[in-house]
Amino acid sequence: MSVTSEVSLDGKQLTIAIKGRFDFGSHQHFREAYERFYKVPDAYTVDLKEATYLDSSALGMLLLLRDHAGGDDSQVTLINCSPDVRKILAISNFDKLFDIN
C-alpha cells in the first residue's frame, strides 16, 4: 500500500493516488497526504486507478477528506475507479457526495 500526493504548480489542485489496499492501514498516510500543506487547495482529486481493495474505513477517510476540504462546498473528485469500487461507492451513496469520474 502506498499513498502519494502531488500539488499543482499553482497550488489549487491536490491529487492523491492510492496504490494497493485502501483500508485502515492507510489512515495515517492518507491524512498526511492532504494535511501537510500550509495552504488548503481549492480542489482535490483522489486517483483510485491502482487501488486493489477498498473497505468501510476507506469510505470514512474519504468523508474526512471531504470535511477537511469544506464539506458541502468542497470539490473532491474520485477518478479511475474500477467497476467494483464504483459499485461500493454507489451502494454507499457516495455518488451524491463526490464527483466520480
* Domain-wise residue ranges, the chain: 2-100
Q: So what's the pLDDT on residue 92? A: 94
CA triple 10-15-17, angle to 5 deg:
155
Supply the pLDDT for residue 39.
78
Q: Note the pTM of the prediction, 2 decimals.
A: 0.93
pLDDT of residue 11: 87
> Does the domain spanning 2-100 belong to CATH 3.90.700.10?
no
The chain-wide mean pLDDT, for the chain, equals 93
Q: Closest by alpha carbon to 57, among 49, 45, 65?
A: 65
The rounded average pLDDT for each run of 10 residues, N- to C-terminus, in the chain (101 residues) is: 91 95 94 87 96 93 95 95 91 94 88
